[in-house]
Amino acid sequence: MFPYFTIFGNQISMYSVSALAGLLLSGFIACKLSKRRNILYVDTIIFMLFSFIGVYFGGIILYAITQWQYISALFRNFSAIINDGMLIPFLIQIFGGSVFYGGLLGGIGAGVLYLKVTKQSLGDFSDLAALVAPMFHAFGRIGCFLGGCCYGIECDFGFVYENALVESANGVRRFPVQLVESGFEFLLFTLILFMFIKGIQKHRLFLWYLFVYSIGRFILEFFRGDEYRGFVGFLSTSQFISVFIFTVSLILLIRTNIKHKKQILNE
């Protein structure tokens, strides 16, 4: 599609531009809505910075795990790879990508750690995170579409890549799964925003985000055509993680709603 553009001889990837746009817009929305939870702008910004550091490293780490065959080859043939000058290409192959679920889990870990250390409200900040996550991800998937990564299966309708950054995406008509997921994320953001403004399921919005997203992601994985994201049998790594997140979020939603009803009855 349009993987990059050139400014003063430097190539700028459209994925980076899209991700930055998503980060700025979701940050702006979080700051504007933070006053509904009596959270200061500066605390919102710091929380987001910590979370996005976790997102960055978490995504890379999970991608590296999916490249286990290259890691195994690196350890088995380390001396030969060093002698042939192939260490850097191997490391690029292992750490040269990112998996959203890894970023999500890394962001959750970093965000919770920050809130625990600063002794701030996990519930209030998690409601803001439930808005930030789908908005940021929606723009990220637009970047994936423009760059040609995370591409869809071959189909009779869709788009043909000619200069995608991932060579295997080129030359055939593919289902625009990235745009479908982006649209799904925008709808999910709209749902969470409505619940946030109306005060529905307060302090449980992030669990609702995880619950709904895991269902959508599990289904959309069947329309992905890229093989490098990792598989266990006929299911992808992300589908196994989706099942885990669906189960955990459902259990926590049931428990927290039961607890909330008991608190209302006891008042």
DSSP assignment of 106-166 = HHHHHHHHHHHHHT--HHHHHHHHHHHHHHHHHHHHHHHHHHT-S-B-EEEEEEEBSS-SS
pLDDT at 9: 74
- Percentage with pLDDT > 90 across the chain: 58
Work out how many domains the chain is built from and give that number.
1
Instruction: Say if residues 10 and 155 touch (Cβ distance below 8 Å).
Output: no
CA gap 243, 233 in Å, rounded = 15
Q: Is residue 243 part of a domain?
A: no
Answer yes or no: is 99 within a domain: yes
Is 261 part of any domain?
no
pLDDT in tens, the chain (267 residues): 677 777 777 778 888 899 999 999 999 999 999 999 999 999 999 999 999 999 999 999 988 887 878 888 888 888 888 888 888 888 887 887 788 889 999 999 999 999 999 999 999 999 999 999 999 999 999 999 998 888 999 998 888 888 787 787 888 899 999 999 999 999 999 999 999 999 999 999 999 999 999 999 999 999 998 876 667 778 888 899 999 999 999 999 999 999 878 777 776
Domain containing 74 equals 4-200
Report how far residue 245's alpha carbon sits from residue 209's, in angstroms, rounded to the nearest whole number.
10
Interatomic CA distance for residues 150 and 104, integer angstroms: 17
Query: Among all chains, which residue has been given the structure tokens 């400014």?
Result: 7
Residue pLDDT, tens place only, 8-17:
777 788 888 9
Domain assignment present for residue 266? The answer is: no
Domain assignment of residue 121, yes or no? yes
How confident is the model at residue 161, as a pLDDT? 87
Q: What is the pLDDT of residue 191?
A: 97
DSSP 6: E
Query: Is the residue at 154 inside a domain?
Result: yes
Is 255 among the domain residues?
A: no
Say what angle helices 41-66 and 122-147 make with each other, to 10 degrees: 50
Q: Please state the φ and ψ torsions of residue 42, each to the nearest 5 degrees.
A: -65, -35
Pairing of strands 231-232, 173-174: unpaired
Alpha-carbon distance of 30 to 43, in angstroms, equals 11
54-86 pLDDT tens trace:
999 999 998 888 787 888 888 888 888 888 888
Instruction: Supply the pTM of this predicted model.
Output: 0.89
Quick one: angle between helices 68-76 and 41-66, nearest 10? 60
Residue 249 lies in a domain: no
